[in-house]
Structures are given as C-alpha cells and as structure tokens.
Structure 1
Amino acid sequence: MQSKLIVLEGIEAAGKGKASIAIMNFLASKGQRVVHTREPGGTPYAEALRAVVTSKEYVTPGICEVMGFYGARCDHTQSLIIPSLENGSHVLSERYYASSFAYQKQTQTELEAVHAICQPYLLEPDLVLFLDISPETSVKRMAEQRVAKGIALDKFELRGFEFMKQVRENYLRISRNETPATHKRWCNIDAEQPIEKVHQDIFKILTEALQLPA
C-alpha cells in the first residue's frame, strides 16, 4: 500500500492533539508505520520559525506571517514529509496549508500568490480530517484546558471568539471547494461529540481510506 499524507485540521481546541494520539495507536494496531508531525514545525528550521510567527512579541504586516508559515512549510515538506513517505511510512500532520487559508484570510491575495510560488515544494494531502467545533466551544475549552492551568496562549489563540468564528467559516468554505486549499478527500467530523465517538468516526474513515482490515 502506498504511504499517505494524513492531515488534521480545526480551530483552536478542536481536539487535534488527542486525535493524533488515538490515530497513532490505531494505525500501529493495524501494523502501519506512521510519522507524527505538526505545523508550523516538524524540523529544526520550521520549529525556529514557529517560535517567531506565533509569538506575541512581534507585530508585523500580514504578508510576513504568510511568508514565515510557508517558509516553515516548504522545509517541513521537503525535509520530513517527503522522505518519510518515500521510506514507507504514513505521515500524520497536525495542520498543513489549509490552515493558512483559514487563519490568514485577511491577506488572501498575497496568500494565494505565495501558495502558488511554493506549491511545487508541497504535497496535496491524501486525506484531511477537519475536526469541527463551534467558536463558543473553542473559547470555552481554551479557558478550561489552558488558561485555568496557567498555559500561555499564543497570539492566534488570544484573538478570541470573533476570530475563531471567522476561521471556522473559512474552513467551511474550504470544505465546499471555494478556495485553492481544497483537497481531493476532505472529511468534516463533528468534534462536539463525546471524544470516543469522534475517534470512532476517524477510525472508520481511516479504515476505508487506507483499505485497512476491519
């Protein structure tokens, strides 16, 4: 079976971290090799850029964010994702380029131009799992799971309800094939459900997409 690039997308606190652990365990139980990674990040260079683009310290024009994310993404793809796939492992990435189209919509013209320049260095995911929650749930979960525990929020997490509402709407536009970020296989998953049901929905999709034994 050909190795696949599987991407988890969603607004803040949608459950990507817990879903990643569940997916890794599920695929391992099916005898599948898989590499787990994230964006921005995944390589030393990309992690260094992550620290800059998510920092509250810097206030820059939107185009700087776009170029920072795509610089990290190109290195991540070329240095980690492609070699892992060629080595016979699936790759599970928390976020990929759909995140830019969801989070950086305010610089749409520049974003599409940068995406077009970088596209030869990127891959189209084989499967995107969009964990869909409301902005109300996002803000509530961040307060309960991060703020209450003293975990500092990055500059995107700090933008609040209206920003999360817009990001979710952007994701839904992507799912309807209205932006260049739409993929061949995009699956919306109701992540407001109990976590066990969310993960079971994911496993069902993976079983079909990867043609795994039941």
Structure 2
Amino acid sequence: MIHHPHFISLEGGEGAGKSSALSAIRETLAAHGVEVVLTREPGGTPLAERIRELLLDRDGEALAAETELLLMFASRAQHVREVVRPALQRGAWVVSDRFTDSSYAYQGAGRGLDPTWIEDLERRAVGVKPGLTLLLDLDVREGRARTAGRDLWPDRIESEQDDFFERVRETFRRRAQAEPQRFRVIDASQPVDTVAAAVRAVVEAWLEQGR
C-alpha cells in the first residue's frame, strides 16, 4: 500500500459537516497555488456514479452486505484508476469525500463483514492510501438531529438505525487511534467556523511538513 502525501481524505458520520470542511481543504490548498482535484466516494467517475445510485437507492432491490461491499470496491477501483492515480501522477493534490476507511466503518462494522476481506480488497483493487485523513467526529444523536430537517428523503444508508451509526463511529475512532500518523481527529460538535479553522490549520501544518 502506498501512502501518498498529496492525497487527502475526509471521513465522518452523518451530519458531521463534511461539505464545509471540504471547502476549507480545497481553499487552503488552492491558496498555495497547487492543482486540487475534489472528488467523492462512492462516485467520482461516470461509471462509479451509476454504482453510487445503486448503492444508495432505498427503493430498489435490497442489497446483501457482501453485494454492497463489492459494489463499493468496484466503484473505488474505477475511481482510483480514472481519477486518483492520474491526478497524483501529474502532481495534483486529490481531496476525496470518503475513501476506504468508510468501507471498514460502514460495511465492516456497520454490516458486520470481516475486516480482513476488506483489507484484501483494498490491497488488490486499490493499492493507495491517503497520506492525510481528517476525521470529523460527532455524537451520533447530534449528527442525526442535524440531518433530520435536511434530508427529507434519506438514502438507503442514511435510513439505518442509531446502533448502526454507533458502530461506524467507533470504528472510525479506533482506526484514528491505530494510525495517528495519518489521521487528524476534529471535534465536529463545534461551530462551523471553528471546525473550518481547525481543518485549515491541519492542512497548513501538513503542507509545512512536506516542504
């Protein structure tokens, strides 16, 4: 697995405020005159976006947990080969709204699938990890309260129960503890401006470290 220093991912549970944080990351990088490729998972390419629709459609055919995981990695494999690797190879910075850590949290802990299977898929189908991952950590009930008035039609994953999201959060936190060199945990219960400032500070420090 290659940890690429110009590859940044953003992780967090529902309602953690990823949109504002993504903007803060992009603006901070752009201020340093670098090319920034902002992308997301699942998705990022036309094919991967079609897979995203299948994954999140709550009115479609029920997905087995194994099917969900394999679709996630099919989307990710396409994303890496069509977007992530080419951008990194030409010297751009890539910022992804979610990456493989989400599969460990949502399909691993949330759905109860074996993490060693996810590790094998990550090694075989992905082959790259972000050099820096920002985790927006937020109490599940607070996050759900934030999204209650926003998501009139929650997707298939957003429709899960609190215990599902508690497992997701705990796995994100454990992964952050296990890889402190890669993860930076930010308290997402703070005001939006405070969170954005913390995000900018993390990215500035990462840029300074790489000089």
TM over 0.5: yes
Structure 1: runs of 5 or more not aligned: none
Do the aligned partners of 1:124 and 1:183 also contact (CA within 8 Å) in 2?
no
Q: Matched residues in 1 for 2:189 and 2:10: separation?
A: 16
Any residues of structure 2 matched to 1:155-174 within 5 Å, and which?
A: 155-174=156-175
- Deviation of 1:60 after TM superposition, in Å, equals 2.3
TM-score, normalising length: structure 1:
0.88
- Cα 1:119–1:36 shift into 2, 3 Å: same
Q: CA offsets per residue over residues 13-61 of structure 1, 9 Å max, x none?
A: 1111111122212221221211000000001111111111111112122
Tell me, what secondary structure is at the counterpart of 2:39?
strand
**Which residue, 115, 121, 126 being the options, matches 2:131?**
126
Letter in 2 for 1:125: P
Letter in 2 for 1:134: D
The farther-off stretch of 13-22 and 38-47 is 13-22
Do the aligned partners of 2:29 and 2:36 also contact (CA within 8 Å) in 1?
yes
The farther-off stretch of 18-27 and 130-139 is 18-27
Q: Matched residues in 2 for 1:112 and 1:201: separation?
A: 33
Tell me, what secondary structure is at the counterpart of 1:211?
helix
- Cα 1:120–1:210 shift into 2, 3 Å: farther
Bigger share in strand: 2
User: What corresponds to 1:97 in structure 2?
Assistant: 100
- Cα 1:114–1:133 shift into 2, 3 Å: closer
RCO higher in structure (CA 8 A, sep ≥6)? 2
Q: Percent identity?
A: 31
Q: CA offsets per residue over residues 72-111 of structure 1, 9 Å max, x none?
A: 01110111000011111100000000001111123432x5
- Deviation of 1:120 after TM superposition, in Å, equals 3.8
Q: Matched residues in 1 for 2:78 and 2:63: separation?
A: 22
- Cα 1:4–1:192 shift into 2, 3 Å: same
TM-score, normalising length: structure 2:
0.89
Aligned residues: 203
- Cα 1:129–1:48 shift into 2, 3 Å: same
User: What corresponds to 1:202 in structure 2?
Assistant: 199
Do the aligned partners of 2:13 and 2:165 also contact (CA within 8 Å) in 1?
yes
- Deviation of 1:160 after TM superposition, in Å, equals 3.1
CA-based RMSD of the aligned residues comes to 1.9
User: What corresponds to 1:74 in structure 2?
Assistant: 77
Structure 2: runs of 5 or more not aligned: none
Do the aligned partners of 1:23 and 1:203 also contact (CA within 8 Å) in 2?
yes
- Cα 1:115–1:75 shift into 2, 3 Å: farther
Any residues of structure 2 matched to 1:174-213 within 5 Å, and which?
A: 174-177=175-178, 182=179, 184-211=181-208
